Structure 1
């Protein structure tokens, strides 16, 4: 499968041994998710948080070979979001 399996409803086999990353980076080498070779988002089983907001598991297969996952709401803010919404002074 290619990187475009991200939205497949069926989890790819490579996600079976994923480890949980608490800081949204590869726990083995520190790479950002955008450097991942593969991505899969578990959108079939969202979790509802205390604030009633949905979150999903995002799975990544890193360049270094490590497979890890993190919660979608733990993703750091995008640098592009700041450009789209400039702070008024």
Structure 2
């Protein structure tokens, strides 16, 4: 993982952390359920985006090392396993 990419992923994780804190605060403040649901949707969306960005980087990294048929088969298996984690 490159430094810039790692920084971007850490930034996205910090955004998610902020969304989760906001959900907790909304509960503490007895805010309307619709407001909480909206914030939870933001959490889910941010998590999904982080997961997709990380998956893309993972696939790109795997594809750089495909110099043999065995490496290609292993990469396909790894990509399939990683895809199972996606929403």
| Same fold? TM cut 0.5 | no
Richer in helix (by share): 2
Report the TM range for the smaller structure's normalisation.
under 0.3
Richer in strand (by share): 1
Q: What is the TM-score normalised by the length of structure 2?
A: 0.22
